[in-house]
């Protein structure tokens, strides 16, 4: 076991090729951008972590943590997280999945609070999904989702911000709508590098207004296509069938074998129940439940825990690992 030292990350550390994504401590002005490294007795880098202010959720800070392969993961991760807790003024947020026991155990050792659960999200287009799409592409009032009109991108951005704000209000309040709008505006500009794909995205119109949409984002490294489903009013009486019609239209525009990545939260019963009814093949080995965990810090607000009643039975193994209650 090497002798571990933790210190702020220097510009020399950031230039070291052993890690490709190091940033020096306080890489931006202010005291919130903290970056630390763990080193051995010779000064060699063993791992690093940093807290990143979350522009979407100002009550928490995202944590990036990496340990050099071959080094004692638990010991290095512990000292890094302890150092970040000591300098952070906001709870640190991680997203361990069921197939990441080391990360779950790290959260458990440091008092991690389960604030949300996300079910498996990979759906592979095939016969079963096409049958589902055929049954859901038309709403009860006879509407179908159609193509994106560039002239309505501002309206689409407004819907995205409205839905996102309502979706997170109870467990992780979002930034003010004006700030969310400014953050997301580049993704709604035609031809932007991170913009949604207008050929795969769809909108649903009712009385000349967009009431739901499905946005297809640039492919992930494994080729999966993330799909955002939104509706207005959030949780309204027609919200589920409107989003189903949008998803059906995306499936119709997809080829067999395409992977659609569609997340939902257990606190959003409408969205969760909708996605439970969408068929798919047997789960992909890496397609598991994911927890959203808040690590408390002494000077920050307490994370809001998920209630026991909101935890599904098939996510209990992950939760028991997170809480350290496994035998």
Among 254, 293, 246, 252, smallest CA distance to 274 is for: 246
Tally of residues, the chain: 327
CB 72 within 8 A of CB 42: no
State the pLDDT at residue 73.
95
Among 84, 71, 121, smallest CA distance to 266 is for: 121
Q: Per-residue confidence of the chain (327 residues) as pLDDT tens digits?
A: 668 999 999 999 999 899 988 999 988 876 678 899 999 988 999 999 999 888 899 999 999 999 999 999 999 999 999 999 999 999 999 999 998 999 999 999 999 999 999 998 899 999 999 999 999 999 999 999 999 999 999 999 999 999 999 999 989 999 999 999 999 999 999 887 789 999 999 999 999 999 999 999 999 888 899 999 999 999 999 999 999 999 999 999 999 999 999 988 999 888 888 988 998 766 666 678 999 999 999 988 899 999 999 999 989 989 999 987 654
CB 63 within 8 A of CB 93: yes
State the pLDDT at residue 2.
66
Cα angle value 287/292/297 (rounded, 5°): 150
Count other Cβ atoms within 10 Å, centred on residue 303. 26
Among 319, 327, 234, 290, smallest CA distance to 95 is for: 290
Residues 121 and 280: their CA atoms lie apart, in Å, by: 10
State the pLDDT at residue 141.
97
Q: End-to-end CA distance of the chain: give it in Å, rounded.
A: 27
Residues 183 and 56: their CA atoms lie apart, in Å, by: 8
**H-helix or E-strand containing 122?**
strand 122-124
Tokens of 249: 């239209």
State the pLDDT at residue 176.
96
Tokens of 215: 């946005």
State the pLDDT at residue 323.
84
State the pLDDT at residue 28.
81
Q: What are the backbone dihedrals phi and psi of residue 127, each rounded to the nearest 5 degrees, phi first?
A: -60, -40
Among 69, 70, 9, smallest CA distance to 38 is for: 9
Burial per residue of 287-296, b for 16 or more beta-carbon CB atoms within 10 angstroms, e otherwise: bbbbbbbbbb
The DSSP result for 69-131, as a single string, is TTS-HHHHHHHHHHHHHHH-SS-EEE--BTT-HHHHHHHHHTT-EEEEEE---EEE-SHHHHH
């Amino acid at each position: 076991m090497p002798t571990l030292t933790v210190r702020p990350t220097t510009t020399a550390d950031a230039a070291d090729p052993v890690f490709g994504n190091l940033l020096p401590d306080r890489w931006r002005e202010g005291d919130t951008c903290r970056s630390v490294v763990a080193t051995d007795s010779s000064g060699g880098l063993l791992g690093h972590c940093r807290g990143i202010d979350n522009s979407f959720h100002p009550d928490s800070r995202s944590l990036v943590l990496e340990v050099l392969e071959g080094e004692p993961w638990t010991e290095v991760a512990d000292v890094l997280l302890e150092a970040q807790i000591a300098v952070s003024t906001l709870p640190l947020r991680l997203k361990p999945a069921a197939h990441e026991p080391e990360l779950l155990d790290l959260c458990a050792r440091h008092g991690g609070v389960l604030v949300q659960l996300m079910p498996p999200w990979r759906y592979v287009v095939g016969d079963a999904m096409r049958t589902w799409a055929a049954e859901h592409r038309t709403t009860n009032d006879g509407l179908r989702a159609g193509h994106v009109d560039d002239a309505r991108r501002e309206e689409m951005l407004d819907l995205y911000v409205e839905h996102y704000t309502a979706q997170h209000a109870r467990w992780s309040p979002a930034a003010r709508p004006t700030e969310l709008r400014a953050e997301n505006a580049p993704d709604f500009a035609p031809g932007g590098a991170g913009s949604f794909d207008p050929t795969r995205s769809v909108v649903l119109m009712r009385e000349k207004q967009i009431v739901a949409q499905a946005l297809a984002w640039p492919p992930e490294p494994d080729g999966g296509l993330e799909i955002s489903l939104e509706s207005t009013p959030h949780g309204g009486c027609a919200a589920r069938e409107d989003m189903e019609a949008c998803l059906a239209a995306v499936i119709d525009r997809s080829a067999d074998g395409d992977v659609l990545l569609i997340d939902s939260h257990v606190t959003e019963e409408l969205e969760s129940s909708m996605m439970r009814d969408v068929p798919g093949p047997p789960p992909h080995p890496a397609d598991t439940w994911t927890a959203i965990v808040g690590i408390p810090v002494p000077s920050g607000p307490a994370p809001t825990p998920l209630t026991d009643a909101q935890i599904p039975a098939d996510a209990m193994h992950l939760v028991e690992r997170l809480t350290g209650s496994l035998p």
